[in-house]
Structure 1
Amino acid sequence: MPVKPEPASALFAGPLALATLSAPDGPAFPSLVTPDGQALDLRQAFGDERLTTLDVLDRWETALPRLRALAADPALPRVPVAALRVHAPVAPRQVFQSGANYRQHVIDLHVAHRAPGDDRPEEERRAEAAELMDRRAAEDLPYVFIGLPGAITGPYDDVVLPAWAEQPDWELELAVVIGRAAFRVSVEEAPRYIAGYTIANDVTDRATVFRRDMPQIGTDWLRSKNAPGFTPLGPWIVPAESIAHPDDLQVTLRLNGETMQDESTKDMIFTVARMVAYASQTARLLPGDLVLTGSPAGNGMHWGRLLRHGDVMEGSVTGLGVQRTRCVTEVAP
């Protein structure tokens, strides 16, 4: 059974968030959620029984004022979120993922993977890595690759570890949700194209990141990151207007109650706006698309402790709530 959310005095920052919910045996529907844990069915409020959260994001500029008015109206009928199932907040058309975007994380990896025969003190190698990061930032070259929407699962659903995954690892991330079609936008313009933010855990099988049969091909993101359920998402989409400083949010992951990742987005080499602008230089970003911004230091490879059956991951980002997922090993056919 999925891990159930725990009650909280305030589920997220600001007066409202978007969610996709359902009754235990009913169809999923888009919902406005208030921070006290009450949900309003947006199908009724918008007069459209076929409405989805993606539809709301498709019309974000006109929808957001309506959502503000709905959140402020105490007379509208609401249901406790605790009585409903919480799904991934949106089914995106496209998923853009950022790699090597946290300074301390990349430095730690550089130090941990010393070249054969490199006997220099750790301080010297750490200084070298810091210089490399400064150079990368100065050259303005983010690293973005493509994920699959089919890997997304709900914020309280079980994460199935495939039988073939030898080194499954966690990567908690701040995820940007696009609210307007964006193509070749500048860094300065990028914030105007962001509808809001949510939480993503980019689960990765480290053993299949690099192709052993043909090393010259490089990374295999399909195999290592895109198994069904490898991207728990949510629970909510919090509007960008409620998150004043996306480049200063605490990203925290606990494994069975023990803190493994706990870092501010201030450590990102490239800011949220820079990542959105960079992705838009090549691809046309669409409403509802996700831009994952990278994961901070503290992955399982760092701790020498990877995911296994029964593990419970709890991920939080300041103002965006908490997701809790339990790992379940796939039964081999």
Structure 2
Amino acid sequence: MKLARFGIPGSEKPALIDTQGRFRDLSGHLADITAESLSDSQLEKIAAIDIDQLPLVDDRVRIGPPVADVRRIICIGLNYKDHAAETHLALPTEPLVFLKGCHPSGPNDNIYLPAGSKKADWEVELAVVIGKRGLYIPEEDSLSYVAGYCAFNDFSEREYQMERGGQWTKGKSFPGFAPMGPWLVTRDEVPFPGDLRLWLEVDGHRYQDGTTKNLIFSVPTIIAYVSRFFELEPGDVIATGTPAGVGLGHKPNPVFLKPGNVIELAVENLGVQRQLILAWDH
């Protein structure tokens, strides 16, 4: 099952995606897709709805992030061997955990660069959305805590991240730096999260083309590990890391984003995102 949200920011409505990829308005049955919607029992109720009886949504409508009330975005850094190598950083011996301090944005929303931005960069990632509360989750049971998966762009300003006191969160948290979606795909449709292709292009040039087979720490390992330090809650998002091909690692010279660039990215079976890069004008 594919869950989505559509409409203007702050007033999105819930949707199901039918077998032809069309949005079907779910608002007659559900007020919104929230953390409370992500339990197994609630997802079963949604799955029982006759999707063919739901109204079609205009395909020109804005797509929002697929979950309304994400409380935390927990990120795993340097979780692909090839990405660690391109950044000239040692492989982590434990998952490297940091937080993004912004809210998820729509998968096709414009991304505004911070004023004076010099080193804006991209990171296509598989994101895990938690469906039930858990602390000290056993690794062998960890996937049962997953509501679903989605594509994610862990957008970054590398100067802020790496040259302004070593605080990764400050380089990851500008408004709009967390495009998520277009859909939340429930875990029953993603039986092997460790075997998904993911790619990213800028202005039609493919920079990232990887697979979650190359994760250093697997999805079950990440969930179990993070739950030792956080009590995971429904609606929490875990971004699992990015493969090689980020702008910072481009050889012989890094490539950073400028106004007018267009990013397209996808994770296998989880949909495509497209973002136009603009200068901060607020």
Whether TM exceeds 0.5 here: the answer is: yes
Q: Give 1:208 shift.
A: 1.6
Report which of the two structures shows the higher radius of gyration computed on alpha carbons.
1
1:17 matched residue in structure 2: 2
**Residue 329, structure 1, aligned to residue 279, structure 2:** yes
- Alignment TM-score, normalising by the size of structure 2: 0.92
**Equivalent residues in 2 for 1:252-271 (5 A)?**
252-271=199-218
Residues 109 and 45 of structure 1: CA distance in aligned 2, closer, same or farther (over 3 Å): same
| Aligned residue runs from structure 1 range 1-333, under 5 A | 16-22=1-7, 27-46=11-30, 50-57=31-38, 60-70=39-49, 72-74=50-52, 76-80=53-57, 82-90=59-67, 91-110=69-88, 133=91, 136=92, 141-150=94-103, 152-212=104-164, 219-303=166-250, 304-331=254-281
SS of alignment partner, residue 23 of structure 2:
strand
After TM superposition, the runs of 4+ consecutive aligned structure 1 residues lying more than 4 A away are none
Q: What are the Cα deviations for residues 94-148 of structure 1, in whole angstroms up to 9, with x where unaligned?
A: 11000010011112222xx7xxxxxxxxxxxxxxxxxx64xx5xx5x11111112
The Cα of 1:25 is off from its aligned counterpart by: 9.5
Q: Distance in 2 between matches of 1:266 and 1:31?
A: 31
Task: State the 1:211 CA deviation.
Answer: 4.7
Contact 1:31/1:39, CA 8 A, preserved across alignment:
yes
The alpha-carbon distance between structure 1 residues 281 and 288, as it changes in their structure 2 partners (threshold 3 A), is same
> Residue deviations 1:252-309, cap 9 Å, x none?
0011111000000111100011111111111111111100001110000122211001
CA distances 1:39-85 after superposition (whole Å, capped 9, x unpaired): 33333124xxx44433312xx21122222222x553x1321351422
Matched residue of 2:126: which SS? Answer: strand
Please tell me whether the aligned partners of residues 168 and 203 of structure 1 are also in contact (alpha carbons under 8 angstroms).
yes
User: TM-score, structure 1 length as denominator?
Assistant: 0.78
Question: Counterparts of 2:51 and 2:177 in 1: how far apart (Å)?
Answer: 38
Assess if the C-alpha contact under 8 Å between 2:128 and 2:237 holds in 1: yes
Query: One-letter code of the match for 1:264?
Result: T
> For residues 209 and 240 of structure 1, do their structure 2 counterparts lie closer, same or farther at Cα, with a shift above 3 Å needed?
same
Q: Whole-Å Cα distance in 2 between the matches of residues 69 and 204 of structure 1?
A: 40
CA distance in 2, matches of 1:99, 1:290: 14
Q: Is the 8 A contact 1:261 1:298 kept in 2?
A: yes
Residue 26 of structure 1: how far off its partner (Å): 9.2
Provide the identity percentage: 34
- Secondary structure of the 2:227 match is helix
Q: For structure 2, which runs of at least 5 residues remain unmatched after alignment?
A: none
Query: For residue 313 of structure 1, what is the amino acid of its counterpart?
Result: I
1:158-211 CA distances to partner (integer Å, 9 max, x unpaired)? 000111321000011000000111111011111000010001111111112135
Flag the 1:18–1:287 CA change in 2: closer, same or farther, 3 A.
Answer: same
In structure 1, how many angstroms separate the alpha carbons of the residues matched to 2:58 and 2:43? Answer: 21
- Report if aligned partners of 1:209, 1:224 keep a CA contact under 8 Å in 2: yes
Supply the AA of the counterpart residue of 2:258.
R
Q: Structure 1 unaligned segments of length 5 or more: list them.
A: 1-15, 114-131
Corresponding residue SS for 1:253: strand
Moved more, 257-266 or 79-88: 79-88
Distance 1:81 1:252, change over 3 A: farther
Letter in 1 for 2:156: T
